[in-house]
Structure 1
Amino acid sequence: MSSDSAPESTLPYPPIHKDKKFVVLSDWDGTITTRDSNDYLTDELGFGREQRRVLNFKILAGETTFRDSFREMLESVVANGHGFEECKEELRKNIKLDPGFKEFYRYCQTTDIPVVIISSGMDPLIRAVLSNLIGDEDAAKIEIVSNEVKIHPDGKWDIQYRHPSSGFGHDKSQAILPYRALPSPPTIFFFGDGVSDMSAARHADVLFVKQKGDGENDLAAYCKAEGIPHILFEDFGRALGVVRRVVDGQLTVKEALALGKA
């Protein structure tokens, strides 16, 4: 999608980092965390994993949109009577951090590389879990571009999409394309794992795709089918080795992608 046909955003964006040589943009759920929090809510409090996977496969096959399927998943949680604050506490108790992310984040801090979370989840849930996992101070420094939530007077809640006119709900390419328009664009590292990252996959300089033991490697399947070059990684500790070599000039972007695996 070109920037000329960009979907209208109902939510603001943080300013882009115009003066940086490198920028890290990363999905949150199932990428920085070891389990997708929205999958957790759907599987444990909603209509369950089996129905969720049916919808995921339909998204991959182009039979439905992520926006509509994701809303259906979250509606199943609400329909079972689970309020937003209860969901937040469930996630704080059960969602864990990728084992290499703290070291990766520290490296980015010391080398002046911004880390921005680009998520199809909801900001209050991400903030709650992130603060719990890395502390309030570090969590407050990380920019989050995501969807929002609307809580109704009766206690029910639903997702407020950043790009309601887009089939992605949140078209993640729109977080990358403004960098492409800069006179001296930075090298963009993008990290993702699932169907919500399909909109960003073609636009990163170096695309890292998380390989997970649960078999839910939807972004890897998409990239393979579409012929999109990417690097498989199991955790951020392994990805750091590749990022460091690109930043230090030991690897070009093309050479990094040719590795295929971190």
Structure 2
Amino acid sequence: MSAGQEHGAPRSVLPYPPIHKDAKFVVLSDWDGTITDKDSNDWLTDKLGFGFEKRRALNLECLAGNISFRDSFRQMLESVHHPFEECKEELKKNIKLDPGFVAFYTWCKEQNIPFVIVSSGMAPNIRGVLSTLLPGPDAENIEIIANEVKFTDPEETGKTWEIVYRHPDSGFGHDKSQAILPYRDLEHKPTLFFCGDGVSDLSAARHADVLFAKVMANGHSDLKTFCEREKIPHVPFGDFNKVLERVKEVVEGGKSVEQVLKEEGN
């Protein structure tokens, strides 16, 4: 079982928001490198931690199943010796949204389709970046299921800090499948869309009806690589304009999930 995969529902130390029981469609999405133009935790590690080469080597070890995502991610964050607020401010200055995201999120709101961010990052960083990039109250209102942060300095100001994993016993740290699987138990079986890009999304990859795998401009995508290797049907996308097009076809155009996946070569 690769990249931290394990059996059984892991213990969660953080609360979950209520699921959207009456929704016909639900969109769940990774944050870093999917909704954003770059991965904020990779950016912190590369710029303020032990650097790109060691970080990328850990990514590849994780993808190969030689180390869990939880343990590799902790190593990356522990290499960042800067106060938490300083890290958050740097992210607010350097992380931007995918060019199609606001239009897609706005359309979901207009259609009353729940949109949930499911992230292996830390919720305060996500809210911080969103506060500079999303209009109006959306930055505070958008639903986020993520990890948290604990300030470990005596004054608890964040001079030193550590990640609080949602599922500390899971090799994923945050097993994203646990945000999806409750919808599978609903009687009316909503159509589930999931967007992701990397190794933190592997736990969710098999559980959506339509899985969108983000591909960078250079053609790179750890999630797409994993899906091809494991023969998991997926829709590659460069930005959320493609996601909007395909989701609209199912929601408004009457296309079946099977049609969309077949047209994408699955």
TM-score computed with the length of structure 2 as normaliser: 0.94
**Retained in 1: the 8 A contact 2:31–2:118?**
yes
Q: Which one-letter code corresponds to 1:219 in the other structure?
A: L
**Retained in 2: the 8 A contact 1:231–1:259?**
no
Residue 15 of structure 2: aligned partner:
12
Question: Secondary structure of the equivalent of 1:77?
Answer: coil
**Aligned match for 1:251, one of 238, 255, 264:** 255
**Per-residue deviation, residues 53-87 of structure 1 (Å, max 9, x unmatched):** 10011111110000000000000012xxx110000
Q: Which one-letter code corresponds to 2:263 in the other structure?
A: L
Q: Which one-letter code corresponds to 1:141 in the other structure?
A: N
**Retained in 2: the 8 A contact 1:242–1:256?**
yes
Q: How far did residue 141 of structure 1 move?
A: 1.9
**Per-residue deviation, residues 102-152 of structure 1 (Å, max 9, x unmatched):** 110111011110100000000100000011110350112210000000111
Structure 1 residues 215 and 76, CA gap change in structure 2 (3 angstroms): farther
Structure 1 residues 92 and 55, CA gap change in structure 2 (3 angstroms): same
Q: Which one-letter code corresponds to 1:92 in the other structure?
A: K
Q: How far did residue 216 of structure 1 move?
A: 3.9
Within 2, Cα distance between the matches of 1:107 and 1:244? Answer: 9
1:260 corresponds to 2:246: no
Question: Secondary structure of the equivalent of 2:137?
Answer: helix
Residue 192 of structure 2: aligned partner:
188
**Per-residue deviation, residues 174-216 of structure 1 (Å, max 9, x unmatched):** 0000000011121000000000000000000000000102454
Residue 96 of structure 2: aligned partner:
96
Counting only pairs closer than 5 Å after superposition, residues 35-184 of structure 1 correspond to structure 2 as: 35-78=38-81, 82-154=82-154, 155-184=159-188
Give unmatched runs, 5+ long, in structure 2. Answer: 2-6
Runs of 4+ in 1 over 4 A off after TM superposition: none
1:240 corresponds to 2:244: yes
How many pairs align? Answer: 258
Q: Which one-letter code corresponds to 1:76 in the other structure?
A: S
Q: Which one-letter code corresponds to 1:257 in the other structure?
A: L
In percent, how many aligned pairs have the same letter?
Answer: 63
Give unmatched runs, 5+ long, in structure 1. Answer: none
Question: Secondary structure of the equivalent of 1:158?
Answer: strand
Q: Which one-letter code corresponds to 1:57 in the other structure?
A: L
Within 2, Cα distance between the matches of 1:231 and 1:46? Answer: 33
Q: Which one-letter code corresponds to 1:87 in the other structure?
A: C
Question: Secondary structure of the equivalent of 2:163?
Answer: strand
Please say which of residues 216-225 and 174-183 is displaced more in the overlay.
216-225
Within 1, Cα distance between the matches of 2:239 and 2:165? Answer: 29
Question: Secondary structure of the equivalent of 1:176?
Answer: helix
Q: Which one-letter code corresponds to 1:29 in the other structure?
A: D
**Retained in 1: the 8 A contact 2:153–2:161?**
no
Question: Secondary structure of the equivalent of 2:47?
Answer: helix
TM-score computed with the length of structure 1 as normaliser: 0.95
Counting only pairs closer than 5 Å after superposition, residues 207-218 of structure 1 correspond to structure 2 as: 207-218=211-222
Q: How far did residue 238 of structure 1 move?
A: 1.6
**Retained in 1: the 8 A contact 2:62–2:68?**
yes
**Retained in 1: the 8 A contact 2:19–2:182?**
yes
Q: Which one-letter code corresponds to 1:63 in the other structure?
A: N
Computed over aligned residues only, the root mean square deviation of the Cα atoms, in angstroms, reads 1.7
